[in-house]
Structure 1
């Protein structure tokens, strides 16, 4: 494919210097098939909006499609595309200080920022203004994809999703025109952009969000407890999480996430391959790891945030979560913005290996009764409890629901984020050596069979989060796993028809289909 005339940013075509490095992304070494094609015909790193407009015009004129990447990870490679199309990499386009603005109006606070901002940078910026907003934990994920897929994170019960706080979206459309989209100015596109089909409605550049102030929630408490892996300890901790999830009247202002991570691959001496090469040779692309190697561990992230002057914390709730933890880890009283910075996961990725990914959601309120705790501990221990098996788990299980949860209450707020009646999210990711691919897939297949379905121990239906995509790469064939009902999906299809009439933003099959 020819380069685009008149661009000020960099361009990379196949077999040229820098192309191999630039096309690398999180999913590269996990997929080696034509369906998940991550070999763009051209990679463009625009310097400004004029560059973006020229890329859109070139794509339309030459009947090419554009895949948009803002940085971080897309688990199935949907932010890339094949040789006939273009990848537009915005990870460094809008990084200058004028892309970060904090301001107040009366008793409300706001931030305008860009899609190129990483979660680590965003968190640091909010901290300097003693402000916070719910968001995820992965420091190198950039806000463009994170906002469009919801922004799941540690404050989901108490404050909802990052995307719930978005007030306006600044975009460049298929005609190269700059527009601002709000709930009132264009409710259909606002609905579609936030939760519908990331990167397929135009080019998002900036957004305005309402944030919260530390001063309004004084007395917030947090616990970051580390337990050396033990299946009995894990059973007890997940039992507490299941009790919380099953209690529909549990107070809104408590959030709890429990993670399990296998012993670090560095310790076991198995690192090799492309991911490791990128980590060592190109940290500016791969990201910079900041966490030491670990043993197999259980991590507990818990917080309480007062919502009014009469709120009082249940310290016994914290105490049983920290009982037996490594070292004297007290419950800390800190501003929420400070707690959010402590929850950030500093590594680029959990393990430098290919993976088989799973993210499950459920609306169950009978997990304790159904025996889910014993089941999931058994599944985890099959891998984590065995050393030298060439597989490593990264597990994250978080309570989302209850009648008081803002994850649930924010449903119907003009966004299309799905499954808002869910009570829990369970991530079971299996990183593996190349020769262990069949073993890892077989382990996940058992989870699929036993956890999900009419008799599933976790969920009676297949509910997936679009930020944690896996399985079929043809979104139209599995739309019902990512979106609740056909009428909603058809509404998104109609919005895509309006926003992308020529297929300019249809770079692969992981897109909501356009209406006929």
Structure 2
């Protein structure tokens, strides 16, 4: 009889274990009733793949090693993760696409990475819903787990448009919380400017519907903080409700996309044109990219141009001779270059719906190069006249040319480096980006969002990539080039801003350098702005915090700088993936590459910052 009881008890234990053990993971997930995937740092499985961030190549690897990765499937999963974090007294880093350039969408120590890339992207379940009414116009409720590419396709099918960014694999969650910068900023502003309301789960586990025009001061504060404050610091965003535009209301919109061979003269002429745009009406938007394309050899150095005239005046506003002349001047700027075949290129002479234009601007590869990088972002608030007086276009052209000449000219060629530069005019008195800063809450007269530096006219993002496995001096070359650019761009005799490097303005969507917010907050926010954000943080995430997973968070005290390592290196046995492969392979190749690389990192030990 005892033997029978023992057998029955053993069977019961086996059945119970098999019932509660998740089938998707090689270990028991410690979060009670969590239905999504679960990966632990010290267990076998796909941890490396889900750990990957855009910054994995470039920031300190051990700062992006969460103890637990939870891939949520629902609101309930998010709440379970929050309960567990509070029980364990650990913090949560929220990741949708992992595109944060300094790794702030990840975490380390005993903390949790909550991955939302699969959670809120089922259109049939209400994660994409369009509402049309004579009173409120067109609104769209959308889950934050969609990529911008997926979002654009759904909007296009409805004949609708909302402005947002170019990067194909950026997800809506992080994108909207950092502004949502795209091509048509002067015409329509940012993605964040179109948020009417959002749903968010806060540190106490509540699901809140937060409206821009809420009568509740705390809700208005939370709206302000989420749209522009450190992303993921105030709760877990799940859905946003957006004001949308109908294609049919802007029937004459048009654009121009083309790729040209690099020529210094062409760069200076197009930047001359860009510098004079601030006084134009808001319909005109222009972005220029310069790529060195040195390492792969697949293509020569190139210049890509993206120009849009948005017809913001509607059906009665005609694309007249002035519009034609603007596009003609853009084309004429490239007289010294050769236009390259580009299946996605199109000309400006024919109207193109807004929803088609925003899809045409998308940069399809998951990232520019699978290489370590050093980034810079330069913001200028100068008028067109001051930009010309400071010789902005000629000086900027010279800096870009220095990099390209050093990597392509003769026997002194510098190998193992790449450059990607993006330059854009986003401002001026008629710019919607600027004018939206004048829109205040009708209830208390305060700012609606915490988007910074709305008086910016020109921005330039200069990214230097390097492969130290190919060339041990590659990283030093990039750092030296950035140092020279800093010296010429900034300061009393600067060509971009009068502010010195330690005070130069930055934007959270393109962060770089020290990511300890306690040291650098004055570069990201004005004092009154930051103080308000810190107060809101204390209200919605009081100690012990849940959403303070790293030092790139509002309210952090000053401390030791968190800088990229000075020995960022990828193993030569795996590297490189060429730009040609990146353009044709998509996310799968990046996942496979990074998984292999990270597995090797685990065997050789993490890269640590050796600069301090």
Structure 2 counterpart of 1:470: 512
Instruction: Please report the TM-score for the alignment, with normalisation by the length of structure 2.
Output: 0.77
User: Is structure 2 residue 219 aligned with structure 1 residue 192?
Assistant: no
- Distance in 1 of aligned mates of 2:281 and 2:72: 46
Contact 1:157 1:253 in 2 (8 A): yes
Structure 2 counterpart of 1:491: 532
1:184 CA drift (Å): 2.8
SS, match of residue 411 in structure 1: helix
Contact 1:26 1:74 in 2 (8 A): yes
Give the alignment of 1:79-158 within 5 angstroms: 79-97=105-123, 98-106=126-134, 108-158=137-187
Q: 1:13 aligns with which of 19, 37, 40?
A: 40
- Distance in 2 of aligned mates of 1:227 and 1:368: 25
- Distance in 1 of aligned mates of 2:220 and 2:122: 30
User: Is structure 2 residue 69 aligned with structure 1 residue 43?
Assistant: yes
Structure 1 counterpart of 2:452: 418
Moved more, 327-336 or 354-363: 327-336
SS, match of residue 374 in structure 1: helix
- Distance in 2 of aligned mates of 1:250 and 1:64: 51
Contact 1:110 1:208 in 2 (8 A): yes
User: Is structure 2 residue 388 aligned with structure 1 residue 346?
Assistant: no
- Distance in 2 of aligned mates of 1:240 and 1:401: 14
Contact 1:228 1:297 in 2 (8 A): yes
Q: 1:320 aligns with which of 329, 352, 358?
A: 329
Structure 2 counterpart of 1:282: none
- Distance in 2 of aligned mates of 1:72 and 1:39: 13
Structure 2 counterpart of 1:452: 490
1:310 CA drift (Å): 3.5
- Distance in 2 of aligned mates of 1:310 and 1:66: 49
Structure 1 runs, 4 residues or longer, greater than 6 Å off? none
Q: 2:303 aligns with which of 293, 298, 301?
A: 298
1:226 CA drift (Å): 1.6
SS, match of residue 357 in structure 1: strand
Residue by residue over 1:175-219, the C-alpha shift from the partner in whole angstroms, topping out at 9 and shown as x without a partner, is 111111112331111111100111000110001000111111111
1:322 CA drift (Å): 1.5
Moved more, 179-188 or 232-241: 179-188
1:311 CA drift (Å): 4.1
1:110 CA drift (Å): 1.1
Contact 1:42 1:83 in 2 (8 A): no
Residue by residue over 1:419-447, the C-alpha shift from the partner in whole angstroms, topping out at 9 and shown as x without a partner, is 00110111100011123112211211221
1:2 CA drift (Å): 6.9
Structure 1 counterpart of 2:401: 381
1:514 CA drift (Å): 6.8
Q: 1:512 aligns with which of 554, 557, 560?
A: 554
Counterparts in 2 of 1:348 and 1:146: CA distance versus 1, 3 Å: same
User: Is structure 2 residue 420 aligned with structure 1 residue 394?
Assistant: yes
SS, match of residue 198 in structure 2: strand
- Distance in 2 of aligned mates of 1:79 and 1:72: 6
Q: 1:202 aligns with which of 235, 238, 254?
A: 235
Instruction: Please report the TM-score for the alignment, with normalisation by the length of structure 1.
Output: 0.91
- Distance in 1 of aligned mates of 2:520 and 2:44: 37
Structure 1 counterpart of 2:195: 166
- Distance in 2 of aligned mates of 1:143 and 1:330: 29
- Distance in 2 of aligned mates of 1:90 and 1:212: 27
1:127 CA drift (Å): 0.5
Q: 2:375 aligns with which of 357, 360, 364?
A: 357
1:86 CA drift (Å): 0.3
Counterparts in 2 of 1:341 and 1:2: CA distance versus 1, 3 Å: closer
1:303 CA drift (Å): 1.0
Give the alignment of 1:52-67 within 5 angstroms: 52-67=78-93
1:336 CA drift (Å): 1.1
- Distance in 2 of aligned mates of 1:264 and 1:447: 20
- Distance in 2 of aligned mates of 1:349 and 1:262: 15
Counterparts in 2 of 1:105 and 1:228: CA distance versus 1, 3 Å: same
Larger Rg: 2
- Distance in 2 of aligned mates of 1:514 and 1:168: 28
SS, match of residue 64 in structure 2: coil
Residue by residue over 1:54-107, the C-alpha shift from the partner in whole angstroms, topping out at 9 and shown as x without a partner, is 110110111100000011411000000002100000011112112111121117
Which structure 2 residue ranges, 5 or more long, are not aligned? 1-27, 440-447, 558-612
Contact 2:252 2:318 in 1 (8 A): no
- Distance in 2 of aligned mates of 1:392 and 1:181: 43
- Distance in 2 of aligned mates of 1:171 and 1:53: 11
Q: 1:371 aligns with which of 391, 400, 404?
A: 391
1:232 CA drift (Å): 1.0
Residue by residue over 1:455-474, the C-alpha shift from the partner in whole angstroms, topping out at 9 and shown as x without a partner, is 32101231111000001111
Which structure 1 residue ranges, 5 or more long, are not aligned? 268-292
SS, match of residue 66 in structure 2: coil
User: Alignment length, in residue pairs?
Assistant: 484
SS, match of residue 437 in structure 2: coil
Structure 2 counterpart of 1:218: 251
Structure 1 counterpart of 2:480: 442
- Distance in 2 of aligned mates of 1:250 and 1:423: 12
Residue by residue over 1:266-298, the C-alpha shift from the partner in whole angstroms, topping out at 9 and shown as x without a partner, is 32xxxxxxxxxxxxxxxxxxxxxxxxx532110
User: Is structure 2 residue 280 aligned with structure 1 residue 250?
Assistant: yes
Contact 2:148 2:168 in 1 (8 A): yes
